[in-house]
Amino acid sequence: MEIITADQLATLGHPQRLAIFRMLMRRYPDRVPAGEIAAALAIKPSTLSAYLSNLLDSGLLTQTRSGTSLRYTIHVNRVQTMLDFLLLDCCRGRPDMCSPLAATFGQGLQDMVSDKLNVLFICTGNSARSIFAETLLRDMAGDRFAVYSAGTKPYSELNPMAIDLLRGKGHDVSDLRAKNVQEFIQPDAPRFDFVFTVCDRAANEECPTWEGQPVTAHWGMEDPVKATGSDAERSLAFQAAYGALRNRITSFTAMPMDTLDRISLQRAVDDIGQTEKAPNA
C-alpha cells in the first residue's frame, strides 16, 4: 500500500499531471475525451499522452474507447484508497490535523446547517442552463432552498429564448440577472451547501475553493444557446435543456437531506448528473 501510494503521490507531484487529475475530479463521473483535456489545459497532444499514461500506470485514471476517441475518468476506488491511507494511516484518523472535511463525512446536512440549504448553479454564460436550474429549484422547493446561479464568464444579458421559455412555463423572471461567480466568493456571500456545474466548460475551469466544503457535482449538458437551425429547432434545444434540468431537480428535491450523510449525498448527486436528458419539456 505504501509503495502504491508513494507512486501515486509522485505522479501527482508534477503540476500538469496534477492539473489533469483535478480537472477529471471536477468532471467525475464524466468520461472526457483526450482532445477536450488538451484544449482545456492547453497541453500539446503528444505531451498529454505521456501524462495520461503516467496517471493510468499509477492507477488514478481509467481509459475507455468510444469509436475512435479515448476517454478518461477518475478511478474512484483507487483514489479513495489513496486518500484513506493518508487520512487513516498517516494521520491516524485525526481530522483536526489532516482535513476539516473528514470530520463531516458522517454528518447529514441537518448537522451542518440551521436554515435553508444554499445551492449555487454555475455555467459559463449564466444566460440559460444555470438560470433554468435556479428558477426551477426556487419554484419547486423554495421553502427548503436558497438558490443562486452564476457564470464564469457571464453574458451581459440573459438569453431571450430562455426567458421566453420560462415565462411560457409560468415562472417569474423579474429578478433574474446574469451574475459573475466572483460575487459568491466575497466575505458577505452565502456559505453554500451544494454547488453544481451545469456545463462542461465551467467544470473544466478553475472555480473557487468553496468555504465550508459544500457537496459538489457536475450536471453537464449541451448549451442550447449554441443550437443552430430554424427557430423551431433552436426552441427544441432550450426545451430539452429545461426538461433535463427539471428531471434532475425533481430527483434532487426528493432526496432525504436530513438522513443522508455526506458520502451518500455525494453519490446521490453524482448519480443524478448521469440521468438521461429529456427530449422535450
Q: Is 43 helix (H, G, I), strand (E, B) or coil?
A: coil
Question: Average pLDDT for residues 7-35, to the nearest whole number?
Answer: 92
What pLDDT score does 203 carry? 78
Reply yes or no on whether the pLDDT at 105 is more than 60: no
Is 201 buried (19+), middle (13-18) or exposed (0-12) by CB count in 10 A? middle
Q: Show the CA angle centred on residue 45, arms to residues 40 and 50, nearest 5°.
A: 110
What pLDDT score does 106 carry? 46
- Which helix (DSSP H) or strand (DSSP E) does residue 25 occupy? helix 15-27
**What whole-number distance in Å separates Cα of residue 198 and Cα of residue 45?**
27
Reply yes or no on whether the pLDDT at 82 is more than 50: yes
Q: Do domains 2-76 and 109-272 have the same CATH topology?
A: no
**What whole-number distance in Å separates Cα of residue 181 and Cα of residue 183?**
5
What pLDDT score does 90 carry? 74
Neighbour count for residue 203 (Cβ, 10 Å): 28
* DSSP character at residue 212: T
**What whole-number distance in Å separates Cα of residue 274 and Cα of residue 107?**
25
Q: What is the pLDDT of residues 181-237, one digit of tens each?
A: 999 988 889 999 999 999 888 778 766 678 778 999 999 999 999 999 999 999 999
**What whole-number distance in Å separates Cα of residue 70 and Cα of residue 95?**
38
Reply yes or no on whether the pLDDT at 279 is more than 50: no
Q: What is the pLDDT of residues 22-47, one digit of tens each?
A: 999 988 888 999 999 999 999 999 99
What pLDDT score does 14 carry? 95
Reply yes or no on whether the pLDDT at 159 is more than 50: yes
At 1, the pLDDT band (50, 70, 90 cuts) reads low
At 278, the pLDDT band (50, 70, 90 cuts) reads very low
Would you name the residues annotated as active-site residues? 123, 199, 207
Was domain 2-76 assigned CATH 1.10.10.10?
yes
Q: Is 171 helix (H, G, I), strand (E, B) or coil?
A: coil
Lowest mean pLDDT among 18-22, 25-29, 113-117, 123-127: 113-117
CA atoms within 13 A on the CB side of 30: 24
**What whole-number distance in Å separates Cα of residue 18 and Cα of residue 11?**
8
Please, what CATH class does the domain formed by 109-272 belong to?
alpha beta
Domain coordinates in residue numbering, the chain: 2-76, 109-272
**What whole-number distance in Å separates Cα of residue 121 and Cα of residue 129?**
9
What pLDDT score does 210 carry? 81
What pLDDT score does 99 carry? 54
Question: Average pLDDT for residues 54-76, to the nearest whole number?
Answer: 93
Helices 45-57/2-12 angle, 10° precision: 160
> Is 114 in contact with 226 (CB distance < 8 Å)?
no
